[in-house]
Structure 1
Amino acid sequence: MSTTTRPTIWVAYGPTGVVGTVRKDDDGYTVMMAGAAASAGTYPTMEIAKRALHARMRPGSDWPQFREH
């Protein structure tokens, strides 16, 4: 009998709205920027994924707010 883990998603909000998401699954934490066709990578920890998402935002952007959904 196998166990399937349901993915957890955090939505990242900047001052103008949604800037991206981080999805936790069996492979790690996958970053998807808003409007992108492909992921920005999968990372081993949530903190690294958050930093990767922020690094892909417009230079000088404030740290986004992450909300679990």
Structure 2
Amino acid sequence: MSTTDIRHTIWVAYGRSGVVGSIRRDERGFTVTMAGAQAAAGCYPTMEIAKNALHASMTPGSDWPEFREH
């Protein structure tokens, strides 16, 4: 029997005004949560899709955020 060790990693997204959201990796995928939100915005199969979903949830016209691993 083998097990998969998935690190629970968090990337914080920074925009011009500070933190805009985060992406958390776990066994389900990549979960996007916007800053100040009560619940996650969604869970996605890849980091790239999660980044695009987070950016799409920002104010229209916002620059691409900077993602930093924590």
Give the TM-score band, short-chain normalised.
Answer: over 0.9
Runs ≥4 in structure 1, deviation > 2 angstroms? 1-6
- The answer to whether residue 63 in structure 2 is matched with residue 25 in structure 1 is no
| TM-score for the superposition, normalised by structure 2 | 0.92
Structure 1 residue ranges without an equivalent (≥5): none
CA-atom RMSD in angstroms: 1.3
Percent of pairs identical after alignment? 71
Measured in 2, the distance between the counterparts of 1:55 and 1:5 equals 27
Partner of 1:63: 64
Secondary structure, counterpart of 1:5 in structure 2? coil
Q: How many residues align?
A: 69
The one-letter amino acid of 1:12's match is A
- The answer to whether residue 6 in structure 2 is matched with residue 5 in structure 1 is yes
Q: Deviations over 1:3-58 (max 9, x none)?
A: 65331000000000000000000000000000000000000000000000000000
| TM-score for the superposition, normalised by structure 1 | 0.93
